[in-house]
Structure 1
Amino acid sequence: MAAGRGAALLRAEASSGRATFLELFFDLAFVVALTRVSQRFADVSDETGWALVGGLGRTLLLFLALWLIWSQTTWITSRYEPERSIIQAVVIGTMFAALVMAVTLPRAVEERAVPFTVAYLMVMVVRPLVVAAALRGHPRRLVPFRLAAWSALSAPLWLVGALGPDRLRLSLWAAALAVDYLAWALGWPLPRLGAAAVGRWRITGEHLAERHQQIFLIALGESILVIGAAFGGVDYSAERAAAFGIAFITSAVLWRIYFHRAGRLLNEALGRAGLPGQLGTASERTHALIVLSVLVTAVGYELVIAQPFGPPRPTWLLFVVGGPVLFLLARIRLDYEIFGRVPRSRVIGLVVLLLVTTALARWSPMVGLSVVAGVLALIALVDALRSRQRPLEDLASPIARETPGNREPEA
C-alpha cells in the first residue's frame, strides 16, 4: 500500500510534457540569480592577472552551484508529477532557497557566505529527504536517499568554508562542488546499493527539453535586460546608440542560431530517445555551457555600450569574444547530440573568431563587438540558406540509442 501511494508521485505516461505555471514562477528566482552572476562577471572585467583569474573562478563556482539547483529541480519535475502538492511544495521551497542564494550572491564568497551556504544545503540535503519520505515504500526512494547521503558528505566542506578563514573558502567550496558534481555523474553510488542508472531513468523527455529551452531564453532575456540597463544608465551619444543596436542584433542572432534545427528539435529528440535520461544528461551539460556563454556575452555588451570607442583592453575580449566562442562550442556539441554530426558553418565561424582575437586586442571594443556580430550573422545566414535547399535532417543521436544490451531496469 505504501509503495502504491508513493507511485502516485511518479509521472504517468499520459502526463503533459509542458512546463507548468509553477515551474515558470520558479524560474523568476533564476532571473534574479543570473543577473547577479552577470554583475559579478562585470565587476572583475577591469582586473588583470591573478585578480582576474580569481574573480572569474569565484563567479564560475557560484554559477555552478546555482546551476546544480536549477537542473536537479528540472529533473525532479520531469521524473515526478508536478501537479502533486508535495512536489509543488518542494519546488516552492527550492525557489525560496534559490532567491536567498541570488540575493546573497554579490558577496557570497565574502561576508554573506553563511546564508548562501545554508540555502544551498537546505536544497541539497533536506529536499531529497522530503522526496524520499513522500515516496514511502516505493523502490525509487533510494535515489533521493543516495543524493542526500552524498550531499551530507560534502556539507562539512561547505560549512567549514563558510565559517572558516576567508583564504580557505574558495578552495573548500570548489572541493565541495566537485564532490556534488562527481556524485551526480557517477549516480550517487553507495555501498551494497551501487549507483543509480541515471541514463536509464524513465522521465518525460519533452518536458526536460522544454525546460532547457526555457532556461536559455531566460539567460537571453537577462542579456536584453543588461543591454537596456547599460544604455539607459549612461549619457546618450550616437556611438553608444550604435553599440546598443549591435548588442541587440547579436542577442537576436544567438537566438536564431540556437533554435536552428537542433535547438528546435530538442523536444522531439528527447521524446523519441530510447534512453531519454542519457540524452537529457548530455543536454543538461551542454545547456550549462550555453547559459554561461550568454551571461559572459552580456557582460561584453555592457562594457562596449559604456565605452564603445574607449582604449583597447585585451581582458575585455574574454567577454566580447570569449562569450560567443563558448556559445559556438556548446552549440556544436548540441548538434552532435541531436544529429550525430558537426556543422561546418559553426566550426568555420569558431575558427574565424579565434584567429581574429589577437588583432581585435588592438582595436576599440566597438570594433570587436561588430566583428563578432558579423561572424554570427553570417553563420545564421548560411543556416537559413541551407534550410531552403534541404529538408530537416532525421534525428540520429549517437547518445540515446537503446539496444537490447542496455535495457536494464532503472535504479
Structure 2
Amino acid sequence: MGETHSGLILRGEASSQRATFLELFLDLVFVFALTRVSQRLITDFTTEQRILLSEAGQTLLLFLALWLLWATTAWITSTLEPDALAVQVVVVVTVVGSMVMAVALPQGFGERGLVFAGAYVSVQIGRILIFLLATHGRADPTDPAAPLRVLFWSGLTAVPWIIGGLLGEGAARGVLWSLAVTVDYIALTLGWPAPRLGRTRFSGQTLAEEHLAERYQQFLLIALGESIFVIGVTFSGGGGAFTPARTGAFGLALLTTVLFWRIYFYRAGQVLPLAITRARDPARLGQSVAYTHLTMIAGIVLTGVGYELSIAHPLGHNPPAWLFAVLGGPALFLVGRAGFEYQVFGRVSRSRVAGLILLGAVVPAMLNMSPLTIAGTAAGILLGVALLDFRRSHGRAPEQPAPPI
C-alpha cells in the first residue's frame, strides 16, 4: 500500500469494500440528474415540430457527460482510500458540479449551455488540480505522471466544451460537444496517452474490486428507482383518473421495472463482485463493465419515458416515434445485458438474443396499435426472457463467473 506525505493512500486489502456515505450522497444527486434526463426526453417525444433523432441525441450527449463524471469518481474511490481528505474533497466537488449540470440540463442546449459546460470542465480539471496540490504533484506514487495525463486531455477537450457553451443554440454547439465527449471517452479508454508522459496502464492497478462492482450495482438500482419515480408521479399526478387503461399501463410499467431488476441481478449482476475479483485483469474488466452498465441504464431510462407516455395516453394515438422508447428501451437494455453477461461468464444466453429478435420483429405490427398494447408486448417479451432464465437455472447449481478478461 503506497502513501504520499499528504495522506493520500492507495487502496489496500484491509480497506473497506463498502461505499462510503459521501459516495451515497453523490448518488442522490444522480437520482435527480436522471429525472432531468427523463423529463428532457419526454419533451423530445411530445413537442411538435422537433427532429426526434437530433433532440434525443442532444439528451444522450448530456447524459454521457454526467455518466463520465460518476464513473470516473467510482474509479477514483476504488483505487484510492475514500476516507483520505483529498479524495473526499474531490467527491464533494463532483457532487456540486454534477448538481449544477443536472439543474442546467433541461436547457443544456439552450440558454444554460455555458453553465452546463462550465460545471463539467470545472469538475474535470478541478479534481486533478486538487490531487496535485494536496500531494505536491505526486497523486499516484506508482505512476506520478497519471494526473498530468488526465489534466492534458481535460484541458484539451475544455476548449470545445466552453466554445460550444458560448455559442448560441444551433448545430455548432452539438458538433463541438459531440467531438468533446467522444474524445473524453476515447482518452479514458486508451489511458489518456500524452506526449512524453506515456499512457496510464490500467492492468495491475490497485483496485477494490468488490467496491467498484457494488458502485455499478448501486447506480443501476438508481436508474430503476428513477423509473419508479417517473411512472409513479405520472400515474398519481396530473389529475388523471384511475381508469382501467391507465391502471393497466401503470401495472405494466411496474412489471417491466421488476423484470429489469430480475434479468440484471440473475445472475451476472449478483456475482459481479466475484467476477471482477476472479478476472485475470480485474482493472480492465472493471473498466469495460462501465460501458455495458451505461447501455443498460440508458435502456432503463428510455423505457421509463415510454411508459410515462403509455400511462398518460394509454389508448390514444401512437406516434411512430414512441415505439423507439417503448420497444427500443428494452432492446437497448438487453443489448447491454448480453454484453455484460459475456463479460461475467464468457457467453451470451439465447434468451437475450431471442428477446432482441422478438422486439425487432413486432415493430411493423405495433405501428397502428395503442400505447397500452405496445407496452404489454414489450413487458411480455421481457417476461419470456426472465422465464427462460429461470427454466435454464432451475435445479442446477448456481453458475460461477468465468470472465474472459
In 2, the alpha carbon distance for the partners of 1:139 and 1:212 equals 26
**Contact persistence 1:117–1:162 (CA under 8 A):** yes
Structure 1 gap segments, 5+ residues each:
400-411
Structure 1 range deviating more: 134-143 or 157-166: 134-143
* 1:342 paired to 2:345: no
In 2, the alpha carbon distance for the partners of 1:3 and 1:28 equals 31
- TM (norm. structure 2) is 0.95
- TM (norm. structure 1) is 0.94
- Which AA in structure 2 matches 1:65? A
Structure 1 range deviating more: 171-180 or 130-139: 130-139
In 2, the alpha carbon distance for the partners of 1:12 and 1:132 equals 21
1:42 aligns with 42
Deviations 1:119-164 (A, max 9, x none): 1011111111212333444243421221111010111111111112
1:315 aligns with 321
Deviations 1:293-340 (A, max 9, x none): 110000011000001011232110000000000001110101100000
**Contact persistence 1:246–1:373 (CA under 8 A):** yes
* 1:379 paired to 2:393: no
* 1:208 paired to 2:212: yes
**Contact persistence 2:8–2:86 (CA under 8 A):** no
2:200 aligns with 196
In 1, the alpha carbon distance for the partners of 2:113 and 2:272 equals 37
* Residue aligned with 1:101, SS: helix
2:246 aligns with 240
2:64 aligns with 64
Structure 1 range deviating more: 62-71 or 166-175: 166-175
1:326-341 matched pairs, under 5 angstroms: 326-341=332-347
Alignment counterpart, residue 181 of structure 2, candidates 153, 171, 177: 177
| Distance 1:385-1:158 versus aligned 2 partners, 3 A rule | same
2:100 aligns with 100
- Which AA in structure 1 matches 2:149? R
In 1, the alpha carbon distance for the partners of 2:338 and 2:280 equals 22
Structure 1 range deviating more: 390-399 or 145-154: 390-399
2:156 aligns with 153
| Distance 1:68-1:49 versus aligned 2 partners, 3 A rule | same
Deviations 1:38-86 (A, max 9, x none): 1111101136897111101110100000011000000000010011122
- Which AA in structure 2 matches 1:157? P
Structure 1 range deviating more: 6-15 or 144-153: 6-15
Alignment counterpart, residue 296 of structure 1, candidates 298, 302, 324: 302
Structure 1 range deviating more: 43-52 or 184-193: 43-52
**Contact persistence 2:3–2:9 (CA under 8 A):** no
2:124 aligns with 124
**Contact persistence 1:132–1:142 (CA under 8 A):** no
| Distance 1:81-1:398 versus aligned 2 partners, 3 A rule | same
* Residue aligned with 1:55, SS: helix
In 2, the alpha carbon distance for the partners of 1:3 and 1:314 equals 57
Calculate percent identity across the aligned residue pairs: 46
* 1:287 paired to 2:288: no
1:10 aligns with 10
| Distance 1:386-1:154 versus aligned 2 partners, 3 A rule | same
**Contact persistence 1:5–1:135 (CA under 8 A):** yes
Count how many residue pairs are aligned between Structure 1 and Structure 2.
398
| Distance 1:260-1:48 versus aligned 2 partners, 3 A rule | farther
* Residue aligned with 2:394, SS: helix
**Contact persistence 1:309–1:365 (CA under 8 A):** yes
**Contact persistence 1:128–1:147 (CA under 8 A):** yes
- Which AA in structure 1 matches 2:27? D
In 2, the alpha carbon distance for the partners of 1:353 and 1:132 equals 50
In 2, the alpha carbon distance for the partners of 1:247 and 1:50 equals 26
1:166 aligns with 169
